Amino acid sequence: MNFHRFFKQLAAGVLCAAAMSGQQAPADSSNPKKAEAYYNYSMGHLYAELASAYGNRGEHLNKAIEFYRAAIKADPDASFIAEELAELFIASGQLRNAVTEAEEALRKNPEDLVARRILGRIYSRMLGDGQTGRINEEMLKKAIEQYQKISEKDPQDIESLLMLGRLQKVGQNSPESEKAYKRVLEIDPDNVDANTGLAMVYADLGDTKQASELLEKAARKNPSLRTLTTLASNYEQMRDFKLAAETLRRALDLSPGNPDLKRAYAQNLLFGDQYEEALKQYEELVAEEPRDTQSWLRISQIYRQLRNFDKAREAGTRAREQEPNNLEIRYNDVSLLESEGKTAEAIKALTEILNATARLEYSPADRGNRLLLLERLGMMYRQNHQPKEAVDTFEQMAVLDPEMGARISAQVIETWRLAKNYDNAKAEAEKSKSRYPKDRTLTLVRSNLLAEMGRVPEAATEVKSLLDGKNDRETYINLAQIYEKSKDYPQMSEAIDAAEKLSSTDEEKEHLFFMRGAMLERMKKFDESEVEFRKVLKINPDNSSALNYLGYMLADRNVRLEEARAMIQKAVDQDPQNGAYLDSLGWVYFRLGRDEDAERVLLQAAERVPKDPTVHDHLGDVYAKRGKLKEAISQWERSLTEWNATASAERDEAEIAKVQKKLDQGKVRLAKETSRN
The secondary structure of 195-255 as a DSSP string is: HHHHHHHHHHTT-HHHHHHHHHHHHHH--SHHHHHHHHHHHHHTT-HHHHHHHHHHHHHHS
Q: What whole-number distance in Å separates Cα of residue 667 and Cα of residue 135?
A: 69
**For 342-354, how does the pLDDT look when each residue is reduced to its tens digit (9 = 90+)?**
999 999 999 999 9
Which amino acid is residue 192, in one-letter code?
A: V
DSSP helix, strand, coil percent of the chain (3-state; round to 5): 80, 0, 20
Beta-bridge partner residues of 135: 128
Q: What whole-number distance in Å separates Cα of residue 443 and Cα of residue 437?
A: 8
Whole-structure pTM value: 0.65
Of 635, 641, 630, which Cα lies nearest the Cα of 667?
A: 630
Q: What whole-number distance in Å separates Cα of residue 433 and Cα of residue 267?
A: 43
Ranges of the chain whose pLDDT falls below 70: 1-34, 38, 51, 53-58, 72, 77-95, 97, 128-134, 677
Query: Phi and psi (nearest 5°) for 128?
Result: -105, 155
Count of positions (residues) in the chain: 677
Q: What whole-number distance in Å separates Cα of residue 92 and Cα of residue 86?
A: 10
- Residue 20 pLDDT: 35
Contact 81, 41 (CB under 8 A): yes
- Residue 627 pLDDT: 92
**For 63-114, how does the pLDDT look when each residue is reduced to its tens digit (9 = 90+)?**
777 787 787 677 776 656 666 666 666 666 666 767 777 777 777 778 878 7
Residues 6 or more apart from 295 whose CB is under 8 A from it? Answer: 263, 266, 282, 285, 286, 289
- Residue 7 pLDDT: 40
Contact 245, 235 (CB under 8 A): no
* Residue 592 DSSP code: T
- Residue 29 pLDDT: 42
Note the Cα 428 to chain centre separation in Å: 29
Contact 183, 172 (CB under 8 A): no
Task: List Cα–Cα distances, 266 to 231, 306, 320, in angstroms.
Answer: 16, 16, 21
**For 534-581, how does the pLDDT look when each residue is reduced to its tens digit (9 = 90+)?**
999 999 999 999 999 999 999 999 999 999 999 999 999 999 989 999
- Residue 24 pLDDT: 38
- Residue 649 pLDDT: 75
